[in-house]
Amino acid sequence: MPEGIEGLRAFVTGLRQGMPDAKFVIDRLLSSGDYIGMAYRLVGTHTGEFMGIPATGRKLSVTGIDLIRFKDGKAVEHWGNSDDLGMMRQLGVMPAMGEQDGSDAMVDVQSPKDIGEKMKPEAAEALVRSLFDKVMNGRNVDAMDAIIAPGWVTHVPGPNRTKEGVKARLAGILEAFPDLKMNVEFAMVDGDSVLVRWSAKGTNTGPLMGMEPTGKAAEVTGITIARIGGGMIHENWENWDEMGMMMQLGLIPPMDGAMSGGGSDKGEMMACCTDGDKCCPEGDCCKSHDDDKHKEHVH
């Protein structure tokens, strides 16, 4: 699938053909300066060919998170992650693997009403960063107990959405990737919510979801939104490039044309540079990302 505006057009065209009743439901919306972040669900019925997959008649509910930078009223940069792997499982073209049970469709869950006293933006951001520093990079899943509230609610698809279930899943990731390193690339705060865009890389030298280690390295990106109050995280949304990880490890074949380009974190031109070869001033409308390295195309 092409990148930029043409890729967006191709995706929307294919989506409307494959799922005529498709709707995007925005579950959380944040804004800070030039940036807008949103957690959403794509819901619809697969009644036509989509990404080369014949109609299955199946109903889908796929989550995603987008981060968009605006300038002069137009979107100029985009980062996004969606549950492409879960979508493929829901379509029946990819089975559950290892210890997965295939429960990828997101169900409606109620947001907690009372989350305690609002935190200062700097403290709220530091709390979310501590998940990466203390839990993942510090390799201590029990550190979550001081960060995640007892009544915590997650909107992340998958089995066992309790705190203990998530701790077990993270412990499994740390076992599978003993050299795992995570970096927060960007953070923004809006009210009681914090959005972080992150990257992770490591080598699969331990068992992963019941499968033998591959010995291969993988590098992925993700976006997390956390709702903060009273010094703890009460609610979260998260999407990361699970499909990309599986492809890099050689566990599934390469696939093209998924919702986020295989879950990649490429910034895409979305609403400018449409007038032939002309670019906006300073090339802003032709800025893209590839493996976290900026490329500016100036005509």
Distance between CA atoms of 130 and 140, rounded to whole angstroms?
A: 11
Instruction: Name the nearest CA neighbour of 152 among 109, 194, 106.
Output: 109
The residues facing 202 across adjacent strands are 218
Distance between CA atoms of 209 and 124, rounded to whole angstroms?
A: 32
Distance between CA atoms of 112 and 227, rounded to whole angstroms?
A: 10
What DSSP character marks residue 14?
H
Q: Which domain holds residue 238?
A: 4-296
Please list the pLDDT of the chain residue by residue as tens digits (299 residues).
677 788 889 999 999 999 999 999 999 999 999 999 999 999 999 999 998 999 999 999 999 999 999 999 999 999 999 999 999 999 998 876 554 444 455 556 788 888 999 999 999 999 999 999 999 999 999 999 999 999 999 998 877 778 999 999 999 999 999 999 999 999 999 999 999 999 999 999 999 988 999 999 999 999 999 999 999 999 999 999 999 999 999 999 887 655 554 433 433 333 333 333 333 333 343 343 433 333 332 22
Q: Structurally, how many domains does the chain consist of?
A: 1
pTM of the model: 0.84
Copy the structure tokens of residue 166. Answer: 């998530």
Sequence-separated (6 or more) residues with CB below 8 Å from residue 102 = 89, 95, 96
CATH at 119: 3.10.450.50
